[in-house]
Structure formats: C-alpha cells, structure tokens
Structure 1
Amino acid sequence: MEDSEAVQRNENTENETPAKKQRNETTGEEPSQGPNPGAESKNTEETEPRWSRLKLFEKVMQKSLEKVIEHASFNRFASSFRPLYKKNPQRMENIHKQFIEELRGAIQEDISKLIEEGRLESKLNELDKLESAAKNKPDPAWRPSGIPEQDFCSFLMPYYQKQEAYLRLELKKIQAANADLAQKVQAGRDNVAQTEQRVSAAVNNWKASVTEFEKLASSLGPADVFDV
C-alpha cells in the first residue's frame, strides 16, 4: 500500500513539472530552482581559509598511526604469545590494551618531536611562499632533462660560481693586504737605511775629530806645555 502511494506521488510530480515550466515561459518568470551546487562550492572555496600543510601532515601521520595500530591487532598479539593467552585470556587482553596505549603514545611523541625538531611548520610556510612566488613567474619551473650529468652540473655550477666569486674577492683582499704590508716593510727598510747612514756619518765625524785631536796633541811638545 505504501509503495503504491509513493509511486503515485512520483507520477504526479513528473506530470506537474512540464506544466510549471510552461507557465513560467508564458509569464516570463524564471523557473524556480534550488541552490546551485557549483556556486556554493565556489563561494565555499573563496570563504574558507586555505588548507594548512601542517594539518595535512598531521592527518596523514594519524592515518598512518591508525594503520600501525590496526596491524597490531589482538589476534596477532595473542598468536605470538599463544601459551600465555590460553592460560589467561583476560590478562592477555589487558596486556594488549596497555601495549597499544604505550605504542600509540610513543609514536605520537615521535611525531611531535619530528614536527618540533624539524621545524616543519616554518618549512611548510616557506614552501607556501615558494609556491605563491612560483605562480607569479611566467617561466616554466626546472625539470630534469633525463641526463644525470647535465642535471648535476646545472645544480652544482651556480654553487661553484658563487664560491669562485667569493674566493676571488678574498684573494683581492689578501693581495691588497700584502701590498700594504710590503709598503710598510719597504718604509721600515728605508728608515733603517737612513739610520745607518746617520750613524755612519756620526762615526766618521767622530773619527775625524779624534784624528785632528791626535794631530794637535802630537804637534804640542812637552817644553811648550810646561815652559814657564
């Protein structure tokens, strides 16, 4: 009885639909339609915030954790310790529950440490920035050519070029420092040479003075000195 009434309602609905369409066309009214699912999805995409890579990572990790817990089922756990299970099934079940709790806690702690120590949040934010920056670049992104030697060289050459430029700059600094030191050393040598010349001149003058004094002393006789 209920099935026949449902069929009758469906037939009435199908019969009314063309008439409604015809009335709408004659009156110029738009046919009444429900909400547009495409527009709703578009508005939802515009209003909803962009998905978080970190939340996606955590979701994937949680699914992986559930898979691991699922593989560590009670049947497998009991099959590994069958004698103990036969002896005390209730005790084995309690041990399995404790094992699952500790396993879940340990894995969850490792995931938290991985996120914290690996600074995944900042790295994923940097990835978002790189992705948004890449959208504004009309040039195509780098793709491997299929020749490992060329790809490896294209990756290392900019690094080596930067290192070469850095070494050249450091070499110029060292050469300038060496030139400055060479000038200072030359100036020191010149000062030493001038000092040697002054000392040699002073020695020569002293020797000349001594020679003149000796000549004067020899020219004076004892009688001339003590004559009264």
Structure 2
Amino acid sequence: MEKNTETKPIIATNIDSSAMDLTCMTEEQPVSTSSRHSEGGEPPAGRLKLFNKVMERSLNKYIDDASFQRFAKTFHPFYKRNPQVMEDIHKQFVSDLQRTIQEDITKLMEEGELKCKLDELDKLERAEKDNKEPAWRPSGVPEEDLCDFVMPYYLKYEAHLQKEIKKIQAENAALAKRVQSGRDAIASTELGITAAVDKWKESVKESEKLLACPADTFDV
C-alpha cells in the first residue's frame, strides 16, 4: 500500500511576519480593506503587508500543489522501491523550491524598491484622506485640462531658468570685474613703461649732448 503523506511547509521567515495578523482572504469572497475600515473595525492594512500576505498565500498554494502524493505518483517506480528515500527527497525538493521562490521574491522587492514605493503610496493615501477639497475632475475641454496639468511644470521650469539666469549674471559680473581689474593693471603697466622709456630717452639725449661738446670745454 502506498504511503500518502503530504508535507505542509512553513512560509519563509523573510516575508514580513506582521502580515500574519491580516484576515485571510478567500478567492470567492475577498475582503476589502476600505469596507472593513468603514465598518468601524481596524484601519486598512498597509500595501506592504497586503503584498506580503498575497505572496505568502501564493507561495503556500504553489507548494501545496507539489504534494508528496503527486510527487510519489510521478516517480512511482522509485517510490515503490524505497518510500522513505522518496519522502526525504520530496522534503528536500520542497525546501529548495520554497527557498528559491522566496529569494526571487526578495530580490524582486529589492530591485523594484517595492517597500519604499508601497509606503509612499500609503502616505499619499493618508494625506488625501485629510484633504477636504473636491477631487479633480476633467472639465470636458481637453485644452483646458491639458493646460491645468502642464502649467505647473512650465512654471516650475521657468522658476528654475530664472534662478540659473541670476546665477549666470552673477558669474558674468564677477568675470567683468576681474577683466576690468586686469585692464587697469595693464594700463598702469603701460604708463610705467612709457615713463621709463621717456626717462631713458632723456638720459640718451643728455649723453648725446655731452658727447657733442668740443674738447676744449673740458680744459681747465
């Protein structure tokens, strides 16, 4: 007689354990968090907890499909030869399968930054609940709706450009000041050179005059 044993694997501990506090949702009657909150019960669970709960239920369902009965039926000749070995192989198979799937889920959450994004969605939802203003609705005129949507971006971009213009103007003023200072230094150097040349010319003229005097001028 074949041994009919099914293993009930426990979900990997990498999934948030707090998700276990949520009410189990059946496929026939899913529980809406918004309706539960409106009935005066607990506040709706965060999206991260719901995501973990869905992943947990999906993983459990997937592991349940890999039951020992199906495993033994698939490998019936080996099971008939040594049931205990097949049971150990099945346990190892389920353990490796569960670990691999959980690692893929964890990697997906890390690469997609799901935790931060789901928490941000929760914050946006809570902030919207405190907003008493009516929600935006299309006016029926696409031009106006598009203008209302695009104008804030244009205004923000314009403010950015104004800031960059002021920055460039300040840099240009500093450069102009440095250029003017350099010009003043060049002008001062030119005046110094001109004065030195004039002085040199005067000394040359004096030397020429001395050389042009008659020899008897120096007789005593």
TM range (shorter): 0.5 to 0.7
Q: Which residue of 2 aligns with 1:194?
A: 188
In the alignment, the residues of structure 1 paired with residue 120 and residue 106 of structure 2 have an alpha-carbon distance, to the nearest angstrom, of 20
Aligned 8 A contact 2:72 2:79 in 1? no
The Cα offsets for residues 170-196 of structure 1, whole Å up to 9 and x where unpaired, read as: 232123212221221122112212321
Q: Which residue of 1 aligns with 2:22?
A: none
Aligned 8 A contact 1:85 1:92 in 2? no
Q: Which residue of 2 aligns with 1:86?
A: 77
In the alignment, the residues of structure 1 paired with residue 66 and residue 145 of structure 2 have an alpha-carbon distance, to the nearest angstrom, of 44
The Cα offsets for residues 8-49 of structure 1, whole Å up to 9 and x where unpaired, read as: xxxxxxxxxxxxxxxxxxxxxxxxxxxxxxxxx99x946x56
In the alignment, the residues of structure 2 paired with residue 52 and residue 190 of structure 1 have an alpha-carbon distance, to the nearest angstrom, of 69
Aligned: 1:206 with 2:197: no
Q: Which residue of 2 aligns with 1:174?
A: 168
**Alignment CA distance shift 1:147-1:181 (3 Å):** same
**Alignment CA distance shift 1:64-1:85 (3 Å):** same
Note the C-alpha offset of 1:151: 8.6
In the alignment, the residues of structure 1 paired with residue 201 and residue 216 of structure 2 have an alpha-carbon distance, to the nearest angstrom, of 28
Work out which of the residue numbers 132, 137, 143 in structure 1 matches 2:131: 137
Question: In the comparison of the two structures, how many residue pairs are matched?
Answer: 181
Identify the structure with bigger relative contact order (alpha carbons < 8 Å, sequence gap 6+): 2
Aligned 8 A contact 1:115 1:121 in 2? yes
Aligned 8 A contact 1:144 1:151 in 2? yes
Q: TM-score when scaled to structure 1?
A: 0.59
* Identity score, percent: 54
Q: Which residue of 1 aligns with 2:97?
A: 103
Note the C-alpha offset of 1:132: 2.0
**Alignment CA distance shift 1:50-1:178 (3 Å):** same
In the alignment, the residues of structure 1 paired with residue 104 and residue 86 of structure 2 have an alpha-carbon distance, to the nearest angstrom, of 27
**Alignment CA distance shift 1:106-1:140 (3 Å):** farther
In the alignment, the residues of structure 2 paired with residue 142 and residue 102 of structure 1 have an alpha-carbon distance, to the nearest angstrom, of 50
In the alignment, the residues of structure 2 paired with residue 69 and residue 144 of structure 1 have an alpha-carbon distance, to the nearest angstrom, of 47
Question: Looking at CA atoms only, which structure, 1 or 2, has the larger radius of gyration?
Answer: 1
Would you tell me which structure has more helix in proportion to its own residues?
Answer: 1
> 1:30-179 maps to which residues of 2 (within 5 A)?
45=40, 48=42, 51-74=45-68, 76-78=70-72, 82=74, 84-89=75-80, 90=83, 91-114=85-108, 120-141=114-135, 158-159=152-153, 161-179=155-173
Work out which of the residue numbers 186, 209, 222 in structure 1 matches 2:215: 222
Note the C-alpha offset of 1:199: 1.2
Secondary structure in 2 matching 1:88 = helix
In the alignment, the residues of structure 1 paired with residue 61 and residue 139 of structure 2 have an alpha-carbon distance, to the nearest angstrom, of 38
| Unmatched segments (≥5 aa) in structure 2 | 1-35
Note the C-alpha offset of 1:142: 5.1
**Alignment CA distance shift 1:146-1:55 (3 Å):** farther
Q: Which residue of 2 aligns with 1:38?
A: none
In the alignment, the residues of structure 2 paired with residue 51 and residue 153 of structure 1 have an alpha-carbon distance, to the nearest angstrom, of 37
| Unmatched segments (≥5 aa) in structure 1 | 1-40
